[in-house]
Amino acid sequence: MAKRKTKYVCQDCGYESAKWMGKCPGCNNWNTMVEEVEAKTVRGRQVSGTQVVSKPERITSIESQKEPRITTKMKEFNRVLGGGIVLGSLVLIGGDPGIGKSTLLLQISSQLAGKQLPVLYVSGEESIRQTKLRADRLGVKEDLLYVLSETNLFDIEKQIEEIRPSFVVIDSIQTIFKEDVTSAPGSVSQVRECTVDLMKVAKSNGIPIFIVGHVTKEGAIAGPRLLEHMVDAVLYFEGERHHTYRILRGVKNRFGSTNEMGIFEMKEEGLREVMNPSEIFLEERSQGSAGSTVVASMEGTRPVLVEIQALISPTSFGNPRRMATGIDHNRVPLLMAVLEKRVGLMLQNQDAYIKVAGGVKLDEPAIDLALAVSIASSFRDKPTNPDDIFIGEVGLTGEIRRVSRIEQRVQEAAKLGFKRVICPQNNLDGWTYPKGIKVHGVRTVQEALDIAMAQ
């Protein structure tokens, strides 16, 4: 009898080794190597005469076809996916426990079932009665919504063949297993093999499948990084559990733009979409407070106005603290060094606390100018004009660099009643300013501070 071949696989990054190691060389995490039985592989393949073999085609001879999409009643959800759900797509959605992933997908399933499209909702974590309790709370009563509590992938595929649904939800992929894979459910091998089979079902039958993925304590989707490469779109459901607002962010999309963002509000009867997120982020802004500025940030194709708050105070320790929420913490000491060197602000003995109001995360360079102005405003204890918007990237020499899509940013600011925009000088040519708003072009941080602090 042949001896079983075993290998050790890291459950965080998928690194494989012939022997057990306490520390994974791939991700440097401890005690993540788990023994798994190596699957049998077929070294050769014989092609019969009746089997169809795919052949390469010239790209110019392939007809271009627009991907058909299924739209839901949630416009924010359609926006993140690039206009709707693409037939035959495989979408991965992840988020913290209790953030609302199952609630969102159950609402989407209900809306599609209401359009006379059969939907199969597979729950590997809840029983049918538990799913029914949540459906009653959300007011889900469609007849074409089928609920299945199953973790065996073979049985799930069998039900898909019988029902022939137009939409499938797998909640979650970490609970699904294949019988011929010996490792436990949720392991790297099980997640990889189950995702490959679901991808074949989606592509061959034209059925869009949404799979829910657990996340690690760092916030990344659990399992191998290969999982995110296999699917067509990756969505992250973010937000503070103690706040009512949720952000659905697309970080990968083969059928639309990436970094699109949709805003939802968690209510007792489920998630409700927020059509104008800028008003939500600015509704509790205090007027005339030092250290508060507003920036027009681009989230995908949508401009969003967000408040940036800074608190600068003298330090009581040898090393001043630099803390940031909602932005990269490495950007704070960089901009403080620019202000100290190019503007002359003595910040080396000051603690800095930066926060993006509303729980949104900003990662584009166009927020640099607003962040620098808020730091200077708090340090000088001098508030800026509440009707000002700051847009621009700050270089290490103190210059203000151009940003993309300045027209959409300024139009969003004018729509919400702001009177003045301070932006890079190189962004002023080639477009018409909206009525009722003044646009000031600046070349350096010092020039921007002179305009912002002038009363």
Sign of CA dihedral 168, 172, 177, 181: positive
98, 239 contact by CB (below 8 A) = no
Distance separating alpha carbons of residues 132 and 146, to the nearest angstrom: 11
Q: CA of 101: how far to CAs of 97, 108, 299, in Å?
A: 8, 11, 21
Is 96 marked as binding a ligand? Answer: yes
Q: CA of 242: how far to CAs of 50, 102, 103, 218, 307, in Å?
A: 60, 18, 17, 19, 20
Is 101 marked as binding a ligand? Answer: yes
Distance separating alpha carbons of residues 333 and 450, to the nearest angstrom: 22
User: What is the phi/psi pair of residue 204, to 5°?
Assistant: -75, -30
Is 97 marked as binding a ligand? Answer: yes
Check residue 65 and report its DSSP letter. Answer: -
293, 95 contact by CB (below 8 A) = no
Is 102 marked as binding a ligand? Answer: yes
| Cβ-based neighbours of 171, under 8 Å, separated by 6 or more | 101, 102, 105, 121, 122, 123, 124, 125, 126, 212
Distance separating alpha carbons of residues 81 and 66, to the nearest angstrom: 15
Is 100 marked as binding a ligand? Answer: yes
Q: For 206-330, where are the alpha helices, taking DSSP H only?
A: 226-230, 277-282
Which residue in this structure is represented by tokens 């959409």? 408
Q: What is residue 303's three-state secondary structure? A: strand
Token readout for 121 is 């909702």
Which residue in this structure is represented by tokens 């058909």? 68
Token readout for 284 is 């509790």
- Give the residue among 377, 409, 375, 408 at the shortest CA–CA distance from 391: 409
Q: For 245-330, where are the alpha helices, taking DSSP H only?
A: 277-282
Q: CA of 382: how far to CAs of 36, 309, 311, 418, in Å?
A: 62, 13, 12, 20
Please give the annotated binding residues, written as ranges. Answer: 95-102
* Known binding-site positions for ATP: 95-102
